[in-house]
């Protein structure tokens, strides 16, 4: 589609005004959109940011969108990406999944601004096999009410998002192969750069944030040459980052690295699906498989199957683990908020107390005392604390320290707040429970059980995140002070039941043990 004169004139005007088209209509590069205004916010949903990745575009980098001339409704979410939903997900999907799923959503304040607004881009979690942008707890309205342009988007999951095969490598030539989920994330960030001014957003002030696999994705985008310069600040919520811990493993696309290569995993899946060979005919058969057969029962409960590879080191999108890249090139560092919940995801990697503390070697008894100060002898409790620290809590401290060492500010948090209605059930804040507080969508999560203290915590969390997006500093009027992280002080902001408070990390000694334990974090225990 050739650019229209009206669009060129609009872009010219916006480049000088710093504002957006008025009302609930905007024009992006592919055509005009009509959003929905409600309670001070205009939402634009289901905006294609790439062509549908179906047919011949299955397992290809995202391709340009075909434009449209007529005003397109942006009132409804596009489909979430193809998956087998996980029962009991804390962020249940709001729309049926489909392979045609590369859609973005934008929330903006209804009141126009004389200047450009800060932009925040959300990446959802779900272990790279589940999740989507449609859940109610990811609604961006509260961010918009605080003056932020909030963007969310879908990215391919499971074997649609991470898949390598010798036939794909041969077909691709110089194109990236394997990490299609990450390529979607890069494409969405590029779409933001090209289009966010139409919504009143500032393409030079973009904060990328995500939780769990979304937080891991933020680390991957921070350290990917393909995403460099597309955003300027980062927030990682329970995103792991230690190699071999979360994501569960990085495999090399082609060669063995102690695990099966991405290509060998793809061949194993193809053979299980009844497709043999490594030539063009095999690829044609694989692309003809129904989407349900590609999913093949994959979700967060089954993701450790040997026929699913996950993220790969491909040399283009992913050139190394986040730790490796930051160690080699300080230019990837940027202002960072990072943290985890105080009862984060974990489970015992052993059946006895002796087995779960054995990886600490000579420090095993010390670890036992630090991880079981109540002397419960509960293997599940202690083992879960150990792995939660290894997977989520200690990596957050590690990256805070590394970013500061590289000359950028970092702010560490621990989310300990538990909604009043759940305090009898949860002895600490489980994985992902900070999300409705960050988005200030606690009403959607807790409904009639919502209490005033829950609302107050959500308002504070949302305000800290917005302040950071605006200035690179989460502090602001009416909020308890959140000091920059420093190794010497080791102070974090604890979202405690009595309210946010800056404290010296009470877990420092046990995290030190986790950092130096005899069996390195990246090895199986």
pLDDT tens per residue across span 404-422:
999 999 999 999 999 999 9
Structure tokens at 339: 């943290």
* Radius of gyration from C-alpha coordinates of the chain: 23
Say whether pLDDT at 260 is over 80. no
Say whether pLDDT at 5 is over 80. no
**Rounded distance, CA 216 to CA 212, Å?**
6
SS3 content of the chain, % helix, strand, coil (to 5): 35, 15, 45
Mean pLDDT of 163-190: 96
Instruction: Kindly state the helix (H) or strand (E) to which residue 92 belongs, with its residue range.
Output: none
- Please tell me the predicted confidence (pLDDT) of residue 8: 37
pLDDT tens per residue across span 193-233:
999 999 999 999 999 999 999 999 999 999 999 999 999 99
Q: Which residue has the higher pLDDT, 261 or 403?
A: 403
**Rounded distance, CA 181 to CA 178, Å?**
9
Residue percentage of the chain with pLDDT more than 70: 92
Structure tokens at 433: 């429970």
CA dihedral 371, 377, 381, 384 (to 10 degrees): 60
Least confident of 74-78, 103-107, 156-160, 309-313: 309-313
Mean pLDDT of 347-361: 95
Say whether pLDDT at 57 is over 90. yes
Q: How many of the other CB atoms lie within 10 Å of CB of 261?
A: 19
* Residue 23 binned pLDDT confidence (cut-offs 50, 70, 90): confident
Least confident of 21-35, 200-214, 274-288, 337-351: 21-35
Q: In whole numbers, what is the pLDDT of the chain averaged over residues?
A: 92
Do 399 and 216 form a contact (C-beta atoms < 8 A)?
A: no
Q: How many of the other CB atoms lie within 10 Å of CB of 99?
A: 21
Mean pLDDT of 309-324: 93
* Residue 242 binned pLDDT confidence (cut-offs 50, 70, 90): confident
pLDDT tens per residue across span 467-513:
999 999 999 999 999 999 999 999 999 999 999 999 999 999 999 99
Least confident of 54-68, 158-172, 254-268: 254-268
Strands, E assignment, 110-242:
117-123, 149-153, 201-211, 233-237
Which residues make beta-bridge pairs with 104? 47, 153
* Residue 243 binned pLDDT confidence (cut-offs 50, 70, 90): confident
**Rounded distance, CA 10 to CA 20, Å?**
9
In this structure, are strands 31-34 and 36-38 parallel, antiparallel, or unpaired?
unpaired
Say whether pLDDT at 16 is over 50. no
**Rounded distance, CA 99 to CA 53, Å?**
7
Say whether pLDDT at 7 is over 70. no
Burial class for 34, CB neighbours closer than 10 Å (0-12, 13-18, 19+): middle
Smallest CA-to-CA distance from 312 within 91, 59, 95, 131 is with: 59
- pTM reported for the whole predicted model: 0.94
* Residue 11 binned pLDDT confidence (cut-offs 50, 70, 90): very low
Structure tokens at 360: 């600490």
- Please tell me the predicted confidence (pLDDT) of residue 248: 55
Burial call 499-518: b when 16+ CB within 10 Å, e when fewer: ebeeeebebeebbebbbebe
Q: For tokens 């057969």, name the residue.
A: 293
Q: How many CA atoms lie within 13 A of 435 on its CB side?
A: 31
Q: Which residue has the higher pLDDT, 4 or 120?
A: 120
* Residue 247 binned pLDDT confidence (cut-offs 50, 70, 90): low
Structure tokens at 455: 């609302």
Smallest CA-to-CA distance from 215 within 391, 348, 97, 403 is with: 391
Say whether pLDDT at 250 is over 50. yes
Burial class for 165, CB neighbours closer than 10 Å (0-12, 13-18, 19+): buried
Smallest CA-to-CA distance from 440 within 240, 227, 146 is with: 146
Smallest CA-to-CA distance from 88 within 517, 432, 337 is with: 432
Structure tokens at 336: 């960072």
Mean pLDDT of 131-159: 98
- Please tell me the predicted confidence (pLDDT) of residue 80: 98
Residue percentage of the chain with pLDDT more than 90: 88
Helix, strand, or coil (residue 501): strand
Peptide bond into 491 cis (omega under 30): no
* Residue 20 binned pLDDT confidence (cut-offs 50, 70, 90): low
* Residue 522 binned pLDDT confidence (cut-offs 50, 70, 90): low
Q: Is the dihedral of CA 332, 500, 435, 347 positive or negative?
A: positive
Least confident of 18-32, 71-85, 209-223: 18-32
């Amino acid at each position: 589609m050739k650019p229209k004169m009206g669009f060129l004139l609009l872009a010219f005007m916006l480049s000088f005004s710093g504002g957006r088209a008025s009302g609930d209509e905007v024009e992006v590069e592919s055509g005009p959109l009509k959003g929905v205004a409600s309670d001070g916010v205009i939402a634009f949903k289901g905006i294609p940011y790439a062509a549908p990745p179906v047919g011949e575009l299955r397992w290809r980098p995202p391709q340009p969108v075909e434009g449209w001339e007529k005003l397109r409704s942006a009132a409804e979410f596009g489909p979430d990406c193809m998956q087998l939903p996980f029962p009991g997900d804390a962020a249940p999907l709001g729309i049926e999944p489909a392979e045609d799923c590369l859609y973005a959503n934008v929330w903006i304040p209804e009141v126009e601004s004389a200047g450009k607004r800060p932009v925040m881009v959300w990446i959802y979690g779900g272990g790279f096999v589940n999740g989507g942008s449609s859940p109610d707890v990811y609604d961006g309205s509260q961010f918009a009410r605080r003056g932020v342009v909030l963007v969310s988007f879908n990215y391919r999951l499971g074997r649609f998002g991470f898949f390598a095969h010798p036939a794909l490598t041969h077909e691709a030539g110089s194109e990236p192969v394997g990490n299609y989920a990450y390529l979607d994330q890069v494409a969405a960030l590029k779409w933001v750069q090209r289009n966010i001014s139409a919504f009143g957003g500032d393409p030079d002030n973009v904060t990328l944030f995500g939780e769990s696999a979304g937080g891991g994705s933020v680390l991957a985008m921070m350290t990917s040459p393909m995403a460099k310069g597309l955003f300027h600040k980062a927030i990682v919520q329970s995103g792991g980052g230690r190699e071999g811990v979360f994501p569960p493993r990085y495999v090399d696309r082609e060669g063995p690295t102690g695990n099966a290569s991405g290509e060998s995993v793809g061949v194993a899946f193809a053979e299980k699906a009844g497709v043999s060979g490594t030539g063009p005919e095999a690829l044609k058969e694989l692309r003809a498989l129904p989407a349900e057969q590609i999913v093949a029962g994959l979700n967060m409960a089954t993701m450790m199957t040997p026929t699913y590879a996950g993220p790969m080191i491909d040399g283009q999108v992913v050139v190394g683990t986040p730790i490796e890249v930051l160690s080699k090139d300080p230019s990837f560092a940027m202002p960072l908020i990072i943290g985890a919940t105080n009862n984060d995801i974990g489970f015992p990697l052993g059946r006895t107390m002796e087995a779960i503390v054995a990886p600490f070697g000579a420090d095993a008894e010390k670890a036992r005392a630090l991880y079981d100060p109540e002397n419960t002898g509960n293997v599940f409790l202690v083992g879960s604390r150990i792995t939660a620290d290894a997977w989520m809590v200690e990596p957050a401290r590690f990256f805070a320290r590394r970013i500061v060492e590289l000359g950028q500010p970092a702010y560490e948090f621990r989310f300990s707040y538990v909604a009043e209605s759940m305090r009898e059930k949860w002895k600490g804040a489980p994985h992902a429970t900070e999300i409705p507080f960050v988005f200030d969508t606690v009403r959607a999560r807790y409904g009639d059980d919502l209490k005033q203290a829950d609302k107050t915590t959500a308002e504070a969390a949302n305000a800290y995140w917005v302040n950071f997006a605006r200035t690179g500093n989460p502090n602001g009027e009416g909020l308890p002070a959140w000091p920059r992280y420093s190794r010497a002080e080791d102070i974090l902001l604890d979202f405690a039941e009595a309210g946010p408070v800056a404290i010296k990390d009470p877990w420092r000694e046990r995290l030190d043990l986790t950092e130096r334990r005899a069996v390195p974090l990246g090895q199986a225990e």
